[in-house]
């Protein structure tokens, strides 16, 4: 990919993020025509179509993107959402199942599979996928703990306490991590009072 193509993509994405879909559309269309193997540009073209209420165009672009790059996760996720919106839960489930073969711990994929199973009336399977997605919260809490440790090491007790509070919000009350985090938080608060 050339620097010119990347610059054009970044400009188009900036316009998209500003919410100007009308201006972003021709830019992404041009990128898609000029660099069809540039999956991120094609994916974004699909999103523009999706948010403009053109599901057929979005589906076609995402399918083209996946034909060129079968592992483009964002295209898989958005195509799955489109199928769910169109009440095509079976297609959504098949697509997301293939995606999970590449990334079995992606919480968004697990939630999408849960949604497809729920739509199909397979409630026990839906519950299983939703519970698996919840396990990812513990991993996110671990990142918060590591951040708190870094902040505390630099004497930023207030910032460390905020990260610990955020970690607690991610976890269920009965999580084995909850009690130690509360203990660390209490210690930080005592330090701050001294």
How does pLDDT run across 20-32, given as a tens digit for each residue?
Answer: 999 999 999 999 9
Give the distance from CA 79 to its chain's centroid: 14
Model pLDDT, residue 69: 93
Contact 170, 141 (CB under 8 A): yes
- Gap between the Cα atoms of 161 and 139, Å rounded: 18
Q: Sign of the CA dihedral 123, 127, 128, 130?
A: positive
Residue percentage of the chain with pLDDT more than 70:
98
More confident site: 1 or 153: 153
Mean pLDDT of the chain: 90
pLDDT-derived band at 175, boundaries 50, 70, 90: confident
Question: Which alpha helices (H) appear in 39-177, and where do they start and end?
Answer: 39-51, 55-68, 73-85, 89-102, 107-119, 123-153, 157-170
- Reported as a single tens digit per residue, the pLDDT across 105-117 is 888 999 999 999 9
- Gap between the Cα atoms of 112 and 119, Å rounded: 10
Global confidence as pTM: 0.74
* Cα–Cα distance list, 131 to 84, 97, 124 (Å): 20, 16, 11
3-state class (DSSP) for residue 193: helix
Q: Is the pLDDT of residue 1 over 70?
A: no
Paired tokens of 45: 């073209």
- Gap between the Cα atoms of 30 and 14, Å rounded: 16
Structural domains for the chain: 136-194 (1.20.58)
């Amino acid at each position: 990919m050339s620097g010119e193509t990347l610059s054009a993509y970044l400009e188009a994405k900036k316009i998209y993020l500003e919410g100007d879909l009308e201006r972003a559309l021709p830019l992404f269309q041009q990128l898609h025509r000029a660099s069809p193997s540039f999956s991120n540009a094609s994916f974004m073209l699909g999103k523009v179509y999706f948010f403009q209420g053109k599901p057929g165009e979005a589906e076609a672009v995402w399918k083209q993107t996946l034909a060129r790059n079968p592992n483009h996760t964002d295209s898989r996720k958005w195509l799955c959402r489109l199928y769910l919106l169109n009440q095509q839960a079976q297609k959504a489930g098949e697509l997301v199942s293939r995606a999970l073969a590449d990334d079995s711990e992606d919480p968004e994929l697990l939630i999408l599979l849960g949604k497809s199973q729920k739509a199909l009336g397979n409630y026990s399977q839906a519950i299983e996928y939703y519970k698996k997605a919840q396990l990812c919260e513990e991993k996110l809490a671990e990142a918060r703990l590591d951040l708190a440790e870094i902040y505390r090491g630099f004497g930023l007790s207030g910032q460390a306490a905020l990260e610990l509070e955020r970690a607690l919000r991610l976890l269920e009350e009965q999580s084995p991590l909850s009690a130690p985090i509360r203990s660390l938080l209490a210690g930080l608060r005592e330090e701050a009072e001294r």
